[in-house]
Structure 1
Amino acid sequence: MTVSELDRGAAHPLPRRIAVLSFHTSPLAQPGTGDAGGLNVYVLQTARRLARRGVEVEIFTRATHSSQPPVEEAGDGVLVRNIVAGPFEGLRKEDLPTQLCPFVAGVMRAEAGHAPGHYDLIHSHYWLSGQAGLVASEHWGVPLVHTAHTLAEVKNAVLAAGDTPEPESRRIGEQQIVDAAHRLVVNTVGERDELVRFYDADPADIDVVSPGADLDQYTPGTQRGTERARRALGLAQKSEVIAFVGRIQPLKAPDVIVRALAEIVRTQPHRDVRLLVVGGPSGSGLERPRSLMELADELGVADRVSFLAPRPPSELVDVYRAADIVAVPSYSESFGLVALEAQACGTPVVAAAVGGLPTAVADGRTGLTVDGHDPRRWADVLAGLLDDDELRLSMSRAAPVHASGFSWDSTADGLLESYAGTTAAYRARRAEAAAS
């Protein structure tokens, strides 16, 4: 459905062209490397779906390589503008706020090359982009929609042992965005409640729009396809396989699964259970990039753990299909796209009962949610589900049905509705102010 078709049935006009700000990480980066993760997937997938509906999308991000062109196409109707702001490489995430000014200047220069009113709306992702969005919104005279993805107050409230708390400067920056943005978009009702509780946000200014999964890419495999996937990954057909997919950092808690594996092996040493870890070091995990490997060795399960580099969806689908269970033990997760993708492939998920994961996973039907991060508790739940073939098969059948309720097309529709309402309210306020 195009914008014109949606417009005819909409109460408010829909945007023709939007500027998307993703300062700290490019939507074209491989998820699972550096700071690239679910946010990257969200930005790219929603941009492509919006473009299919006739909305032109320009994504502004910070250039990280000298070889990157100023502008790249990311699909029909989607442009990625690589803004030079600071050194291309070697800049830590903690240092990125120092490069906000040159990034904003680059965004302003790009907009200055167009006729006035080129963009109808700005959608910023993560707090650093939100700060840039506040400036652009004021200068361009267009509304700012913001999606936080993660929040400092929430992360610090559930900090993993040994992890570094988010700085006060981030919390202050987030508060400024909450106070000044024209609309906040969140993934779940729980995230909306966190904004109200920790940042005193007005619930009337928040829209809940669930993320999705690429349901064309992530689909259940056949028995033969699963066998092929296991061969490609070097896994025995009869092995019990648990998979962890994500960035290797304390927040994502991959150590919990390694410790749970060690607990299973300690009590059942002859059990043929293996763990796949797919991802790269990120965040505070960069300080000890081999720490998870060292932990597996220390616990005596190194021979049962396979570490794989991050991979594109066309290859990641084989990881999901090869696994008996996908584990998502995060301490904080605004939604959990890995959980959704795994279920779309027909793989049950065992996830921490935090953030959006209880929404992403239908507890008892498509997977199980676990309170806390005690490795022994996780070992009991994982081993119990591996033992229960009937339950696991039932979950495998129900998982794709549950996942089908979360598509990127639905997300795009929700965003367009939010954009239309935001634009109408913004124009009404400006008209009222001009008349007074």
Structure 2
Amino acid sequence: MTIGVAGPVELRILDWDLKDTNLPPTNAFPLTSHFINALLKRGFKVIAYTNSTEISEPMVLESGNLKVCISRQKPQPGRRFFLFEVEDLRKMMVAHPADFISAFWSYEFAWAALKTGKPTVVSLHDVAFQILRKIPDMFRLVRWMINYIVVSKADFLLANSAYTYNQLDRQTKSKTRVIDNFYPSTLHQRLAATAQKGNYIITVAQGFTHRKNIETGLQAFGLLRRQFPDLEYYLVGVDSEEGGLAQQYAQKQNLTDGVRFMGPMPYDEVFRLIQNAQVLLHPSREESFGMVLLEAMVARTPTVGGKNSGYIPHLLDYGKAGLLCDVESPDSMATEVGRLLSDRELYQTLVDEGYTYAEENFSENVIVDRHLKYYSEILGKPLQPAVQSGKPKQVA
């Protein structure tokens, strides 16, 4: 049985012999790579379909049971309705076919997979119409139109949380199964034996947008510094680098004291910073899931997230596995973070409850088994792994 996985893939965290070679940068999403690794661990052959803006010709890489097909992406794909990207991906899928395709996100990767005619399940990690309502620009309009095509054509859909599912229309819900995101089993191996907690809190967010709400997090930290004058605030992710949008905002508002603008970083480094932080503050106004909070729970770093921020309340077990706050209020954010920093008993309780809740509900073993069971239902037969060994090679 060969399972295809289509979506943004972080090549350097894949479980293969090529991770230390000169790999092209790709559109990356760690969860896709973790899912591929989980399938390999269970003995399946996997073909990953992803793309890159940095290659002039399609590329295929192989190592053992894993084949990675990298298609091309041209600049400003939204202006062309992603048609070039979809066709380049489709050609790869036809030239290197899998028995079944799991497509991450309901956009170009899923559209290409559906065009092949192969049995395909599409994972919904957001709701395109809701994003368009909140960010009404041409790019989100194009994304919504692609999502509409994909959701209409797909026979099998997955929602990454009950929150995502509940935003779907009745017809879409009828062909959608809820299977939550998960954290990889290797996350435990990345944990330092004895974490050295630094005197900082951390926020990890991809983009300085209204949805991510970094500005209110900065305002909250300004209030926290009055109570904890030596505390620092690490901002990690796109737009949080030196000179980026987050720093530009902080400078205009005189909120730079104690803030370290760290920008995008490799996954392992981000996880190390999360483990060593006192608290992870997640000021986002809305999340369909909230992977960084789950990773913090596994890292035994207590979290503070929004009480009305999409799936966040459920992910934090409604305040039992992490504190909830009003993310529209800097005072509310600062109060909840301050509670954790001041009350060691509460701090340890949330560390323990967060870790247990994550392990029991969102571990790789729990969630990936649900995926495989669903695939078996779709295909109408048991899935048969095929364990093979092989030396790494590159195929033009």
TM-score for the superposition, normalised by structure 1: 0.75
CA distance in 2, matches of 1:274, 1:298: 19
Check if 1:383 corresponds to 2:365: no
1:78-97 matched pairs, under 5 angstroms: 78-86=66-74, 91-92=75-76, 95-96=77-78
The letter for the 1-side match of 2:201 is: I
CA distance in 2, matches of 1:76, 1:408: 22
Q: Cα distance, 1:278 vs. partner?
A: 1.5
**Residues 195-250 of structure 1: CA deviation (Å, up to 9, x unaligned):** 23xxx43433111111111343247656x5315xx3xxxxxxxx3x2100121321
From the superposition, tell whether residues 300 and 72 of structure 1 become closer, same or farther in structure 2 (CA, over 3 Å).
Answer: same
1:357-368 matched pairs, under 5 angstroms: 357-368=312-323
1:81-160 matched pairs, under 5 angstroms: 81-86=69-74, 91-92=75-76, 95-96=77-78, 98=80, 100-113=82-95, 118-126=97-105, 127-137=107-117, 142-158=118-134
Q: Determine the structure 2 residue equivalent to 1:12.
A: none
Q: Alignment partner of 1:363: what SS? A: helix
Q: Determine the structure 2 residue equivalent to 1:186.
A: 159
Identity of aligned residues (%): 21
CA distance in 1, matches of 2:238, 2:354: 27
CA distance in 2, matches of 1:357, 1:144: 29
CA distance in 1, matches of 2:300, 2:31: 21
From the superposition, tell whether residues 185 and 112 of structure 1 become closer, same or farther in structure 2 (CA, over 3 Å).
Answer: closer
Stretches of 4+ aligned residues off by more than 6 angstroms: none
Given that 1:85 and 1:102 are in contact with CA atoms closer than 8 Å, whether structure 2 keeps it comes out as yes
**Residues 59-88 of structure 1: CA deviation (Å, up to 9, x unaligned):** 212222238971234x642222111243xx
CA distance in 2, matches of 1:84, 1:332: 31
- Structure 1 unpaired stretches of 5+: 1-15, 231-238, 426-436
Given that 2:290 and 2:312 are in contact with CA atoms closer than 8 Å, whether structure 1 keeps it comes out as yes
Q: Determine the structure 1 residue equivalent to 2:150.
A: 177
From the superposition, tell whether residues 167 and 96 of structure 1 become closer, same or farther in structure 2 (CA, over 3 Å).
Answer: closer
Q: Alignment partner of 1:58: what SS? A: strand
The letter for the 2-side match of 1:249 is: F
1:216-255 matched pairs, under 5 angstroms: 216-218=186-188, 224-226=194-196, 230=198, 239=199, 241-250=200-209, 251-255=211-215
Q: Say which structure is richer in helix.
A: 1
Q: Determine the structure 1 residue equivalent to 2:353.
A: 398
Aligned-pair Cα RMSD in Å: 3.0
CA distance in 1, matches of 2:250, 2:141: 34
- Structure 2 unpaired stretches of 5+: 14-24, 382-396
Q: Determine the structure 2 residue equivalent to 1:13.
A: none
Q: How many residues align?
A: 365
Higher Rg of the two aligned structures: 1
Q: Determine the structure 2 residue equivalent to 1:333.
A: 287
Task: Choose from 220, 226, 229 the match for 1:260.
Answer: 220
Check if 1:27 corresponds to 2:16: no
Task: Choose from 237, 247, 253 the match for 1:299.
Answer: 253
CA distance in 1, matches of 2:303, 2:232: 16
CA distance in 1, matches of 2:88, 2:172: 32
CA distance in 1, matches of 2:353, 2:191: 11
Given that 1:257 and 1:329 are in contact with CA atoms closer than 8 Å, whether structure 2 keeps it comes out as yes
Q: Alignment partner of 1:404: what SS? A: helix
CA distance in 2, matches of 1:299, 1:108: 48
Q: Cα distance, 1:350 vs. partner?
A: 0.6
Task: Choose from 356, 367, 390 the match for 1:411.
Answer: 367
Given that 1:335 and 1:359 are in contact with CA atoms closer than 8 Å, whether structure 2 keeps it comes out as no
TM-score for the superposition, normalised by structure 2: 0.82
Check if 1:274 corresponds to 2:232: yes
Deviates more, 1:390-399 or 1:305-314: 305-314
